[in-house]
Amino acid sequence: VSPEANYSDKLNPNNDSDATRAINTSGSNFSANSNSLLQNATDETVAIPRDNSVSELDSHTNNDLHNPEVNNVAIDNSLAKSDSAFDTNNLQKTQAMQWSAANAEDVSYNSQDNPLEEFDDSNMPTIAISSRNFNNNLNAAKPFGISNKAKNLANKPNRSSKKRVFLIVGLSAAGVLTIAAIGGFWYFLGPGSYWTLPKPDDLQCKNYASCKITDVNWQQYEHTLKIAGIPYKVSKDYSDDVPEGKVVSTNPDVVGSHIQKHNNSTLNVVISRGIRKATIPDDITDPKTYNGKNPLKTLRKAGFTNIVHDKSGDTYSIDIPAGSLIDINPKPGTRMNHNEEVSVLLSKGPKPVQMPDIVGKTKSEADSALTDAKLDVKYEEENSDTVAKGKIIRASVEAGSDLHWGDSVKVVVSKGPKTVTLPNVCGKNSDEAKRIIENLGLKVRISAPLGDLMHVVRFQSPGAGSEVPLKDSNGNPSIITLTVI
């Protein structure tokens, strides 16, 4: 080993280990060219005679035995006794020892101490060196007597290098694809694909997950949305709870909700118009109008939502149909908030009653009973041979029948029996007088106490001009008595 040799230069930083090259270690040629050859070689295996003359080299190399990148030196125990050149068959007979770089000042060279000087080139042992980049050093190594097998090894394709290139390219491509996948996920499905609905500054929430956006200042929240870049649409609606100009609701409505960016999604915001107003129609109390026939429906249609109607307080009315208004508060024509109270009193219509029993009673008695039942009575009179004058003969509705206030009833009052005014038949022939009275519907009885000699009526009973009922209480014609002489 030459004194000027620096063993650190013999280390190959690439740690290549897939090729083995054989070089001649003859004399000064090895010393002079060892640096240029070994700079590109790693994992070298050197086959040299195992002799005490290399103890000095061993002492220097042992310092780096535990270095994983240190080259290996193989010493063939049989080469010291053999005259043949080192070949691949001798590789299994070598003993591996570690090769380490040494400082120039620690290495000395004495040709007298080199046992290799005793051998000529043909008997000289060889050093086998593995190097990936050995092809680049073939020309420089020729002076050292490189064997044909080493040259062939240098020409073989560097499979490990290609594998490493493929691995690097594959890992790079995988990295690019991974980054692209992460970016795509972030943009299309992740945080880059949506806006997060921000919390209004004036909204108090304990739990954001269920914090709905309502009753907040719209101008302030609109400014927040513009800063966040969130598109929105605004509509207005009435609200009983949210004052005019504030946010009634949003869709989505919960703080932290996601609004998609890639499907033209927008935030829908409803702004309060305040409480809706409503007006009580003017004609609602007139049962003849459409609004008056169904006042409750009319009030709901007008927008009122707080209508107070106590059915137990409804009353009968002879004039107002059932379901129509008897009273309303506030009065018709009032404009007010739709949720303010509106009290109504409805009619139950005419009260149901039963027809009283008035037949045979006097007209005054019948009139009192029919008035209490609020019936519409019409009286008529007619003669009756059986019912005394002034009493009720009959009515158009039987007693006990179901009626309602205001129903009409016809009542017949007796004028008593039918009567006729008797004509004066005195002085007339009895036969003629009898014919006149019988024509009136009366019955004639002749009385002749002195005998009927002249056949002349002297007296009549009842007398001429009297009102005589045509029939008696039994329904028979009344009898008129004529006295003749």
**8 A C-beta contact, residue 414 and residue 389:** yes
pLDDT value of residue 90: 42
pLDDT value of residue 267: 95
Burial class (CB in 10 A: 0-12, 13-18, 19+), 229: exposed
pLDDT value of residue 188: 55
Contact residues for 203 (Cβ-Cβ < 8 A; gap 6+): 211, 213, 216, 255
Q: Give the three-class secondary structure for 219.
A: helix
Q: How many CB atoms are located within 10 Å of the residue 263 CB?
A: 7
Show pLDDT as tens, one digit a residue, over the chain (485 residues): 344 344 334 444 444 444 444 444 444 343 334 444 434 444 444 444 444 444 444 444 444 444 444 333 333 333 333 343 334 444 344 444 444 444 434 433 344 444 444 445 555 555 554 444 445 554 444 444 445 555 454 555 566 777 777 778 787 877 887 787 676 665 655 556 789 999 999 998 876 557 899 999 999 999 999 999 999 999 999 999 999 999 999 999 888 889 988 888 899 999 999 999 999 999 999 999 999 999 999 999 999 999 999 999 999 999 999 999 999 999 999 999 999 999 999 999 999 999 999 999 999 999 999 999 999 999 999 988 888 889 999 999 999 999 999 999 999 999 988 888 889 988 888 888 888 988 888 888 888 887 777 788 888 888 888 888 888 777 788 888 888 87
Rounded to 5 degrees, φ, ψ at 11 are -80, 135
DSSP string, 304-334: ---EEE-GGG-B--SSSPTTSEEEEESPTT-
- Here the tokens at position 376 are 């519409």
Amino acid letter, residue 218: W
pLDDT value of residue 405: 95
Q: Give the three-class secondary structure for 271.
A: strand
- Rounded to whole angstroms, the Cα distance separating 441 from 455 reads 23
- Widest Cα–Cα separation across the chain: 225
C-alpha distances in angstroms, 438 versus 289, 423, 479?
65, 11, 9
For the chain, list the domains and their CATH numbers.
Answer: 194-272 (3.30.10.20), 277-347 (3.30.10.20), 352-414 (3.30.10.20), 419-484 (3.30.10.20)
pLDDT value of residue 416: 87
**8 A C-beta contact, residue 247 and residue 216:** yes
pLDDT value of residue 375: 95
pLDDT value of residue 184: 62
Rg of the chain on CA atoms, in Å: 71
pLDDT value of residue 186: 59
**8 A C-beta contact, residue 377 and residue 358:** no
C-alpha distances in angstroms, 360 versus 364, 412, 419?
11, 10, 21
pLDDT value of residue 187: 60
- Rounded to whole angstroms, the Cα distance separating 95 from 47 reads 9
pLDDT value of residue 11: 42
